[in-house]
Structure formats: C-alpha cells, structure tokens
Amino acid sequence: MDFEPWWLIFLPLLFALGWIAAKVDLRQMLSETRSLPNSYFKGLNFLLNEEPDRAIDAFVEVAKLDPETTELHFALGSLFRRRGEMERAIRVHQSLLSRADLQAADRESAQHELAQDFLKAGMLDRAEQAFERVLDTRFAVPAVRALIRIYESEHDWPRAIEAVKRLRALVDEPVPQLVHYQCERAVAALALRPPDIDAASAALDAADNAAVALRKEGRGQASEARIAILRAQLARAANHPERERAYLASVLDAAPEYASLIAADLLESYRSVGQQAEGLAVLKAHYLRFPSLDTFNVVFRELRAQEGYQPAWAFAREALRAHPSLLGLDRLLEAELATGDSASVNLAAGADLSLLRSLIHKHTQRLDRYSCRICGFEARHFYWQCPGCNSWETYEPRRLEEIK
C-alpha cells in the first residue's frame, strides 16, 4: 500500500485524543484515591511489610469509616475465620446482614459465611439454622454437605440420611457413607434391650439398597463386610446360629480383606455346633490366600488347642517365613505363654521365653494399631469412621506393620 501525504493530518488528531484520554483517567484515578481513607493505604503497607495483625486493624478502620465497602467486609470476615477469631468473623457477617440496603446476592453470601463461622466455632445448632436459610439459594450444595457433617457429629442418622437424599437430588454422585448411616441405625436398634430386630433388619435392607451403586463400581468391599457382620449379629440376637455362621462366612468371599475382623467370631460359631475342626480348616485355607496378622493369631491359637504345639509351630514357622513379622512372632509367643507349657517350644537351651516376648512386645506396641490413610490417626481398634478426621472407610483391616 502506497503512503499518502494527507494521512499526516490524522497524526496530531490521534495524539490529541490520547492526551485527553490520559488526562481523564488520571483525574478519575486521583479522585478515587483521594476518596479512600488513609487507613486503607496503611493496611496495604502493613500487608506488604508482612504485618497481618496491624493490617487487619487498619482494614477494620476502613470498614467503620465506609460501611458501603461490602467486599472488604467479606474479606475481613473470611480472614478472621481462617485465623480462628470466630467472634470477630461472626460480628462482621452479622453487621452485613443487618444492613437494609444489602443486595440479595450479597445477603445470601453473608448468610452462608455466617453459617460457616458458626460451624467452625462449634455452635452446631446455630450453624444448622443458618445453613437451612440458604438451602434454596446458589449455596444449596455446600449447605447440604455442611448439614450432613453436622448430623454426623450429632449421630442423628435419620436426618443425615434425609440430607444425603437431598444432596443426591442436587448432584448426581454416589454417597458411600449412606450405607454406614443405615448401618449405624441398625447398630442402635441392636443395642436396645431387648434388641429391636425389625428396625435393625429394615435398616440393613436399606443399607443393601444403598450399596448397589458401590457394587457396580467395584468398590463396596467395606460396605459388604459391615452389612454381613451386622446381619450376623442380628441372626445371633434372633437365635439363628446357622444364619449367623452363613453371614460371617460370606465375608470370606465378598470382602476377603476383611476376614480378620470376623475370624474369631466365625470360629466361635463353628465351635457352638461342635464343628470347630471345620472352622479351623476354613480359616487356615483363607489365611493361605489372604494372609493377615489377626487371622494368623486365630489360626495358631486354635491349632495349638486342637492339634498341639507341633502342628501349631509348624504352621507358624511357615507363615512367618513367608511373611516375616515381629508382631506375628509377638502374638505367637503370647499364645504359647498363655498355655503355661513353654518347655514344649523348640528354642535354644536356657532361653527365657517370657523375657524374649517382653523384648519383642516392647518394639511391637506401636505397630499393633490401625491407621487412617487420610489423617494418619492411629487406634488399637478398627473403626468404620475415623475418630480423627471423621472420614468413612479410611481404615484398612490391617495392622501398621502389614501396611508399611
């Protein structure tokens, strides 16, 4: 394209327009800057100098001087909550809600923030009421999730179940803990004196229905195990020993990793009908396929009782050779000492079995625990819900030594 001399006429015009635009922007910026209180700039300066406490005080002063700074109120409230200053966070969000001129969207946000303040402060009743006020807003999903956590902490399983159903209507996703809510209802019914057989059975039927989606995804072993264990307890309460044994034995196939939780009860069920030899054979065969310390302990003790020390120690040697374990050896020595016949063990001459066991036990105490894979909380007993972080199905049915 050829250059035309008359184009030069536009150059001064373009420069003039640019100069006018710059002057307008500069005047607007200066005007806005003059309208900001000095506390605002002090707060920014404190933040840059990594003095958050003094920055907060400065921003609070800004909020007092200019009540219209809604976004600053929200920022302050969230900051107070993160720092654990719950009273100040609550006051900030309540002051927002008290404003008659607050926009509807901002009012919903303030209500949701206030609900989170109450929840973190442990004021569950007020948190529940606050979350219920935003159930019909854009915060419905997080509000329902929070209500589920509240009902869990209160062990209000019927309301937790209703909240989960509401969540399922909002988002299409499985909720694995629904199975455990129904199981907790069954546990409560079985704990009554006398047990409420009908209520427990209905709760377990509902748990079975809730577990269908998990079975399809191939991740329902824990649910299968817990339902079977509770059905076995229900059968025992109803005086149906054969049904109890059938439910316990079903864990071996449906959730083999959880066999250690029912090994002792399954053996006792066989013993109650005089079939302890069959029960031992079943557990021994399962251990060879799915070895675990607790199952090893049950099998060794029963072998010792039924067949004597030689078969028991032969099994123990092979098991510990295949799966070396200090905790396994500790359990073995504990069982042998309980028989009062330590001389039967083929140890070196002069060995003190009791001393050997005490030395080993000292080093295995920290390994004889279950551990949450989410928060690492350790416990001597198996939990379906972690006492530390309240997550479900985060405990493996194995001791720490088996996992590490």
DSSP 144-184: HHHHHHHHHHTT-HHHHHHHHHHHHHHS----THHHHHHHH
Question: Which segment of 99-113, 218-232, 265-279, 313-327 scores lowest on mean pLDDT?
Answer: 313-327
Q: Average pLDDT in the 127-132 region?
A: 96
Residue 276, H or E segment: helix 276-289
Question: To the nearest whole percent, how much of the chain has pLDDT over 70?
Answer: 74
Residue found by looking up tokens 């969000």 in the block: 93
The pLDDT assigned to 33 comes to: 42
In tens, the pLDDT along 90-110 reads: 988 888 888 787 889 989 999
The pLDDT assigned to 53 comes to: 60
Pair 158, 240 in one domain: no
Pair 232, 306 in one domain: no
Pair 160, 201 in one domain: no
Residue 206, H or E segment: helix 197-210
Number of domains in the chain: 4
- Domain end among 111, 143, 171: 171
Assess if residue 44 is contained within a domain.
Answer: no
Assess if residue 326 is contained within a domain.
Answer: yes
Pair 166, 189 in one domain: no
Reading the block at residue 45, the tokens are 């300066």
The pLDDT assigned to 304 comes to: 86
In tens, the pLDDT along 43-87 reads: 555 545 556 566 556 555 555 545 556 777 787 788 788 888 899
Reading the block at residue 115, the tokens are 């609900």
Question: Which segment of 23-27, 58-62, 113-117, 324-328 scores lowest on mean pLDDT?
Answer: 23-27
What is the band of 369 on the pLDDT scale with cuts at 50, 70, 90? confident
Assess if residue 315 is contained within a domain.
Answer: yes
Question: To the nearest whole percent, how much of the chain has pLDDT over 90?
Answer: 46
In tens, the pLDDT along 313-362 reads: 888 888 888 887 777 777 777 766 666 554 444 444 335 666 666 666 66
Pair 279, 267 in one domain: yes
Reading the block at residue 230, the tokens are 């509770």
Bridge partner residues of 372 (DSSP): 395
Assess if residue 252 is contained within a domain.
Answer: no
Assess if residue 121 is contained within a domain.
Answer: yes
Query: What CATH number is attached to the domain comprising 111?
Result: 1.25.40.10
One-letter amino acid of 99: R
CA–CA distance, 274 with 261 (Å, rounded to integer): 22
Pair 159, 182 in one domain: no
Tell me which residue of 191, 229, 186 sits closest to 206, measured CA to CA. Answer: 186
CA–CA distance, 150 with 137 (Å, rounded to integer): 19
The b-or-e profile of 26-51 (16+ CB within 10 A means b, else e) is eeeeeeeeeeebebbebbeebeeeee
The pLDDT assigned to 14 comes to: 54
Binding residues: 372, 375, 386, 389
CA–CA distance, 371 with 176 (Å, rounded to integer): 20
- Domain end among 196, 215, 247: 247
Pair 159, 148 in one domain: yes
Reading the block at residue 350, the tokens are 């002069």
Assess if residue 104 is contained within a domain.
Answer: yes
Pair 71, 166 in one domain: yes
Q: Give the single-character DSSP code of 137.
A: S
The pLDDT assigned to 23 comes to: 47
63/240: higher pLDDT: 240
7/159: higher pLDDT: 159
Assess if residue 1 is contained within a domain.
Answer: no
261/18: higher pLDDT: 261
Reading the block at residue 212, the tokens are 């269908």
Please check whether residue 154 is in contact with residue 128, taking contact to mean a CB–CB distance below 8 angstroms: no
For residue 360, the tally of other CB atoms under 10 A from its CB is: 17
Host domain of residue 121: 67-171
In tens, the pLDDT along 152-192 reads: 999 999 999 999 999 988 988 778 889 999 999 999 999 99
Binding residues for Fe cation: 372, 375, 386, 389
Assess if residue 230 is contained within a domain.
Answer: yes
Please check whether residue 61 is in contact with residue 38, taking contact to mean a CB–CB distance below 8 angstroms: no
Q: CA dihedral in degrees (235, 238, 241, 245; nearest 10)?
A: 0
What is the band of 32 on the pLDDT scale with cuts at 50, 70, 90? very low
For the chain, give me the number of helices (H) and strands (E)?
Answer: 21, 2
Pair 240, 284 in one domain: no
Pair 105, 148 in one domain: yes
Pair 72, 158 in one domain: yes
Pair 211, 290 in one domain: no
- Domain end among 312, 332, 352: 332
Average pLDDT, the chain: 81
Question: Which segment of 7-11, 116-120, 185-189, 269-273 scores lowest on mean pLDDT?
Answer: 7-11
What is the band of 312 on the pLDDT scale with cuts at 50, 70, 90? confident
Please check whether residue 231 is in contact with residue 205, taking contact to mean a CB–CB distance below 8 angstroms: no
What is the band of 218 on the pLDDT scale with cuts at 50, 70, 90? low
